[in-house]
Copies of this chain bind each other. A is one copy, B any other.
Amino acid sequence: MKDVQGQTDKRNIDIQKVGVKNVEIPLVISRKLKSGKTDSQKVYAKAKMSVSLNRKYKGTHMSRFIEILNDYRKQNLVGVDIKKMLSDMQERLESKNAYIKFDFKYFIKKTAPKSGLEALMCYDCYFEGTLDEDDYKFYLGAKVPVATLCPCSKEISDYGAHNQRALVKVKVSYPENQHIWLEDLIKDIEEAGSSEVYSLLKREDEKAVTEHAYDNPKFVEDVLRDVVLKLENNKTINFFEVEIEAFESIHNHNAWAYQKSEKYSK
């Protein structure tokens, strides 16, 4: 059959990104256990993959993205070697640039502060990688819920203070020869809220969480700055973006704040 995609295109436009989106796939993720040992977790993921397309070609070959995903899945290697996948994409799709993003659901066991009961928390995370010729960049992302308690409301009210769930979104990058565990990144973010949030809390835990939040009032600005400080002090990280959105309990709109590190450090 005719290769329509391989036909010559005359519009003279190199395409920056073309590929597939919303491809659902099970993914195997390395994880860090409390013991310090490592393990793996099978997660539900959505993949977004693209390559650049030279001006001479009419189209890319979309099915090859799925074939590559499938090959890696069979070897249980997806998530383990993003760079190798990108390099395979460059080769099999005859492209200079390759891009991949896996959004996935990641479970971590969390311990209630007083009762010590354990239950799972689920976090929306992602791996993102780009390979431009042979320049590789990797990004790790996590969306972490916390509680924020309003310092102004606490200060001006005779009693009480409005508080709410907020979502902190962090994206970091680091050199190829280094590593950051999702478990560590998420813990750093959780500590920056007025309080952490939990799946399972008994009464004694609820008392502790309520009082802890009241003792640690924070605006979205405070959470943002505290997360930024942690990321700046982390010598492994050479790039970051932080966004926090608080689902205000006294409004039907949200407060938010955003910060991006000025540039990649080497």
Residues of B within 8 A of A73 (CB): 120
A228 is an interface residue with CB less than 8 A from chain B: yes
A160 is an interface residue with CB less than 8 A from chain B: yes
Chain A contact residues: over half helix, strand or loop, or mixed?
Answer: mixed
A237 is an interface residue with CB less than 8 A from chain B: no
In angstroms, how far is the closest chain B Cβ from the Cβ of A57?
Answer: 8
Residues of B within 8 A of A211 (CB): 157-160
Knowing A13-B225, A162-B213, A257-B15 are in contact, say whether A198-B250 is a contact too (CB < 8 A).
Answer: yes
> CB distance A67 to B200 under 8 Å?
yes
Closest to A7 in B: B151
Residues of B within 8 A of A161 (CB): 160, 210
Interface residues of A in 146-182 (CB under 8 A from B): 147, 149-153, 155-165
Interface size class for chain A?
Answer: 35 or more
Partner of A59, one of B20, B59, B219, B249: B219
Residues of B within 8 A of A160 (CB): 149, 160-161, 163, 210-211, 213-214
Interface residues of A in 190-221 (CB under 8 A from B): 195, 197-204, 206-207, 209-211, 213-214, 219-221
A138 is an interface residue with CB less than 8 A from chain B: no
A80 is an interface residue with CB less than 8 A from chain B: no
> CB distance B253 to A58 under 8 Å?
no
A37 is an interface residue with CB less than 8 A from chain B: no
A116 is an interface residue with CB less than 8 A from chain B: no
Partner of A155, one of B2, B15, B107, B255: B2
> CB distance B253 to A202 under 8 Å?
no
- 19 further A-B pairs in the complex, CB-CB below 8 A; given A160-B161, A199-B252: A1-B204, A4-B151, A4-B155, A17-B256, A17-B257, A20-B255, A24-B253, A44-B105, A48-B256, A58-B222, A59-B221, A70-B200, A121-B252, A147-B250, A156-B210, A157-B214, A160-B214, A162-B163, A165-B248
What are the nearest 6 A-B pairs in CB distance? A160-B214, A24-B122, A44-B44, A18-B257, A17-B258, A157-B210
